[in-house]
Chains A and B, each alone.
Chain A
């Protein structure tokens, strides 16, 4: 029989057999004080997923499977411990509620001409952020498509992160082109080399580099940006970016904590990722606060208040660098991997951080 003859545009009697093949029935989630949140609908069999997902058809978690559905997902992340965190629903809702617009929530009219050395430093830093911010857009995007939708809560967080990073990329481009300057030279710091965020082949490996060390470092830089702002526009820009970044860091901390608690057999492996992260991301060219780069020089000029006050800026930079390392160490402790700072494994203890960690 041809498809044409078999096709029914809705002229035959209703079948309605599907009404007997629906998921758990009688669910009535009620809105809480903050609306109807994802947490509010985690009830009955629609609550937390199991430890392993065999959903390869992309069906919503809890929907009734069809036996004849195609296995189109090809999902790589199918074990809960690989991506889960206890408060993903909360972080996602927070991300939705705290979105902002770089077009209208930054008071661009407050930008006034700056001395050339300051403007160049500002633009150098803006170029750096325009370059690196979408690492955290490209990379999570790849993992979203390869994670089973049964773990949709962390996926939702990552989708919000891609959106946030997109906004960060554009707000710094806007800053570079808004005050008589322009884009400057890139750092090349996000190249595809072994151990980079881009090339991680495991989600937790990626998250340890991206969320814990990478974004933790950038969070400090955004805070520095707010400190050294020369106008209300820069103040708002950095403050709002820092909020987003702190949410991404929170994702990484909570995921790694979950991993530590539920997959202890992977602890040693995770320690290796942290080793790499501490050597490359915290200390490498992706972190201008960590070593001397074009962007660190720009930071020093901004912090000092001009090229002629570079040394003063460097002193401030070193002080903030200590804060950066201190916060990193406390975050790693919060994930449950703090033993690396007690047993001498962490290379951060070799130098400036030694006294801080104690």
Chain B
């Protein structure tokens, strides 16, 4: 059981993601990026190196400036996505990262720096990022309201 959002939750997902070699195929594979995640007022930085997510850290909001891109939604939308992933053993057609980015008025992915080359890493590694969040279906999540 891990509470979302928390460093422990991201670490638990990391462990699942890193342990399954199937996530390295099918369009996954080497992924090198620093991804930010903002859940309500809590911020995280996740380091993807090669085929692993090597670090998850809770950080100050100002630290998100270092991220290539930041995934940001209100807490209720994060919860909906993660519940959907848990219920379906992976995101359904309406809850994939790209779909949320396009379908939500405010989008999902953005950056502080505004450099589209770096923001494009969200697209370049999209399958890996999807695998990562889909791996959360393998842990039991408790939501911090």
Task: Point out residues on A near B: beta carbons under 8 Å.
Answer: 33-34, 90, 93-94, 97-100, 105, 219, 223-224, 226-227, 229-232, 235-236, 239-240, 242-243, 245-247, 249-250, 253-254, 257, 320, 323, 327, 330-331, 333-334
Contact = CB atoms under 8 A, between A and B. Distances in A.
Given A226-B96, A227-B103, A250-B117, A239 B124 contact: no
Contact of B124 (A100, A226, A232, A243): A243
B119 interface: yes
B124 A247 contact: yes
Contacts of B103: 227
B130 interface: yes
A227 B115 contact: no
A223 B93 contact: no
Which residue of A94, A226, A320 has the most chain B CB atoms within 10 A of its CB atom? A226
A98 B126 contact: no
Interface of B: 25-32, 49-51, 93, 96, 98-99, 101-103, 114-117, 119-121, 123-127, 130
A94 B30 contact: yes
A67 to B, nearest CB: 42
Contacts of A239: 27, 96, 98, 126-127, 130
Nearest to A34: B50
A246 B124 contact: yes
15 contacts: A33-B50, A34-B30, A90-B32, A98-B28, A235-B93, A240-B27, A243-B127, A246-B123, A253-B116, A253-B117, A330-B114, A330-B116, A330-B119, A333-B115, A334-B116
Given A98-B31, A227-B99, 14 more contacts: A97-B29, A98-B28, A98-B29, A105-B26, A223-B98, A226-B98, A227-B102, A231-B93, A239-B96, A242-B98, A242-B123, A331-B120, A333-B114, A334-B115
A254 B118 CA distance: 11
Contacts of A240: 26-27, 127
Interface SS, A side: helix
A93 B26 CA distance: 16
A33 B49 contact: yes
A5 to B, nearest CB: 55
Contacts of B28: 98
B39 to A, nearest CB: 23
B98 A254 contact: no
A90 B127 CA distance: 18
Contacts of A247: 124
Contacts of A223: 98, 101-102, 123
A250 B115 CA distance: 12
Contacts of A235: 93, 96
A231 B99 CA distance: 13
Contacts of B125: 243
Nearest to B99: A227
A93 B124 CA distance: 13
A93 B50 CA distance: 11
A235 B121 CA distance: 19
B84 to A, nearest CB: 14
A229 B117 contact: no
B115 A243 contact: no
Instruction: Report, nearest first, the 9 A-B pairs whose CB atoms are least far apart.
Output: A330-B116, A97-B30, A97-B29, A246-B123, A100-B27, A246-B124, A98-B29, A240-B27, A105-B26
